[in-house]
């Protein structure tokens, strides 16, 4: 399962980087979204993958799921949500102000 998750994070990051380098604002926004998904997943698995364990130590269980990455990822999700919303609005504003959706505001000749 570790390999599967690792490959998934890698693919998500690669897609994100590729889309970020595109020249239209919409793919760039999508790319940033992919990157934030990748990093959220990455943060989440940094607490190691365990199945069916409680996130708090109780008397009966010997192992536990690390709760800190879950808290971190919650914060990161909220922040990346806000940022994505902001960048979408900004991309729309740029579309209106600059007359097109090229990231540099000009159509190539």
Partner 1 sequence: MNHLIITPVVVPLLAGILLLLLREQDVAIKRLLSLGSLIAQLGLALLLVKTVNTGDIFVYALGNWAAPFGIVLVADRLTVWMLSTTALLSIFAFIYAMHSTDKAGRHFHALFQLQLFGLNGAFLTGDLFNLFVFFEILLLASYGLLLHGGGRLRTKAGLHFVVINLAGSTLFLFAVGTLYGILGTLNMADLALKVASVPPENLPLVRAAGLLLFGVFALKAALLPLYLWLPAAYAHTSAPVAALFAIMTKVGAYCILRIYTLIYGEQAGPAANLIENWLLPLALATLVIGVLGAVGSKHLRLQTAYLVIASVGTLLIAFGLNSQAGIATGLYYLPHTTFASAALFLLADAIARRRGEMADRLDPGPVIASPRLFGGLFMITAILMAGLPPLSGFLGKFMLLRAALDHPALPWVMAVVLISGLLALIALARTGSLLFYRVHAASADNQSSNVDKPCFNELAPIVGLLGLCLVLTIWAEPVLQYANSTALQLLQPYHYIHAVLGGRI
The least CB distance from residue 28 to partner 1, in Å, is 6
Give the list of residues 6+ apart from residue 19 with CB closer than 8 angstroms, or none. 27, 28, 30, 31, 34
95: how many CB neighbours lie within 10 A of its CB? 16
The least CB distance from residue 44 to partner 1, in Å, is 9
Instruction: Give me the phi and psi of 24, to 5 degrees please.
Output: -110, 150
What's the token pair of residue 57? 């130590």
Which is closer to partner 1, CB of 4 or CB of 60?
A: 4
Which is closer to partner 1, CB of 54 or CB of 99?
A: 99
Task: Report the distance separating Cα 73 and Cα 62, nearest Å.
Answer: 25
Residues that bind partner 1 (CB under 8 A): 16, 20, 25, 28, 32, 35-36, 38-39, 42-43, 46-48, 68-69, 72, 75-76, 79-80, 82-83, 86-87, 90-91, 93-94, 97-98, 103-105
Which is closer to partner 1, CB of 49 or CB of 61?
A: 49
Which is closer to partner 1, CB of 54 or CB of 79?
A: 79
What's the token pair of residue 84? 């994505």
The least CB distance from residue 99 to partner 1, in Å, is 9
Beta bridge partners of 65: none
């Amino acid at each position: 399962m570790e390999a599967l998750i690792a490959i998934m994070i890698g693919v998500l990051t690669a897609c994100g980087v590729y889309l970020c380098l595109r020249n239209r604002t919409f793919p760039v926004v999508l790319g940033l979204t992919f990157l934030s998904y990748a990093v959220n997943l990455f943060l989440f698995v940094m607490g190691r993958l365990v199945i069916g364990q409680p996130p708090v130590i109780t008397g009966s269980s010997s192992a536990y799921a690390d709760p800190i990455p879950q808290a971190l990822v919650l914060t990161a999700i909220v922040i990346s949500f806000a940022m994505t919303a902001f960048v979408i609005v900004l991309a729309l504003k740029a579309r209106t102000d600059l007359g097109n959706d090229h990231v540099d505001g000009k159509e190539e000749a």
